[in-house]
């Protein structure tokens, strides 16, 4: 893995890129990282926190300069941690999302992120309406279109469901995030 040389008070330190990226606070990472991805659902407590955690964890493991955030189109749960079933299914798969805090989508997210993934078509139309003239169709897509191109499939909302529904959502998001990472790696290789 490629190392990064940093200088602190004249002393030079060599650290791994993965370690450096993991130590950054979210605002710093959003500023520095090469690729910024936002996951959006309705409440930002069930689906998009899982999508954020899964993709961030895959990127961190590979030391990729990708920063992931998530938001909801609604403001019902602003400031809250993810749903306990999302936290549980993530934990069962080795992903910690307990430190995430719900926030609402804002129109300037279209300026601050390279890509915005929504979970379903109503998230898409809500984002389009909320973003107004900031909306950019080239930056937004249904996340499952990465796994099933052009099919416009949706990640079902597990809010009224049980643990089995959260597990199904986890699997869908894990499979599609794997494709996102593979596409990113392929694009990086083409640039070299």
Active site residues: 41, 47, 157
CB 49, min distance to ligand 4NP, A: 7
Cβ-based nearer residue to ligand 4NP, 38 or 64? 38
User: How far apart are the C-alpha atoms of 10 and 85, rounded to whole Å?
Assistant: 48
Phi, psi dihedral angles at 111 (to 5 degrees): -85, -35
Cβ-based nearer residue to ligand 4NP, 24 or 74? 74
- Does residue 41 contact residue 72 with C-beta atoms inside 8 Å? yes
- Does residue 21 contact residue 29 with C-beta atoms inside 8 Å? yes
Cβ-based nearer residue to ligand 4NP, 135 or 159? 159
CB 174, min distance to ligand 4NP, A: 16
**In this structure, what token pair is assigned to residue 158?**
């597990």
Q: Which residues contact 186 (CB under 8 A, 6 or more apart)?
A: none
Helices and strands counted in the chain (H then E): 7, 6
CB 15, min distance to ligand 4NP, A: 36
CB 120, min distance to ligand 4NP, A: 8
Element (H, E) at 126: helix 121-131
Cβ-based nearer residue to ligand 4NP, 58 or 83? 83
Residues that bind ligand 4NP (CB under 6 A): 41-47, 76, 157, 159
């Amino acid at each position: 893995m490629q190392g990064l040389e940093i200088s602190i008070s004249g002393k030079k330190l060599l650290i791994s890129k993965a370690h450096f990226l993991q130590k950054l606070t979210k605002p710093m990472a959003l500023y520095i990282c090469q690729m910024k991805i936002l996951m959006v659902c309705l409440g930002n407590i069930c689906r998009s926190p899982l999508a954020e955690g899964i993709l961030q964890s895959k990127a961190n493991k590979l030391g990729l300069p990708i920063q992931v955030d998530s938001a909801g189109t609604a403001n019902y749960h602003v400031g809250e941690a993810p749903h306990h079933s999302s936290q549980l299914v993530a934990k069962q798969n080795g992903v910690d999302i307990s430190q995430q805090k719900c926030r609402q989508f804002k129109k300037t997210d279209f300026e601050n992120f390279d890509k915005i993934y929504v979970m379903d078509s109503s998230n898409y139309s809500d984002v389009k309406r909320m973003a107004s003239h900031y909306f950019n169709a080239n930056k937004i897509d249904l996340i499952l279109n990465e796994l099933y191109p052009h099919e416009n499939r949706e990640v079902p909302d597990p809010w009224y469901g049980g643990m089995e529904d959260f597990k199904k959502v986890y699997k869908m998001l894990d499979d599609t995030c794997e494709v996102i990472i593979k596409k990113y790696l392929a694009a990086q290789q083409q640039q070299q």
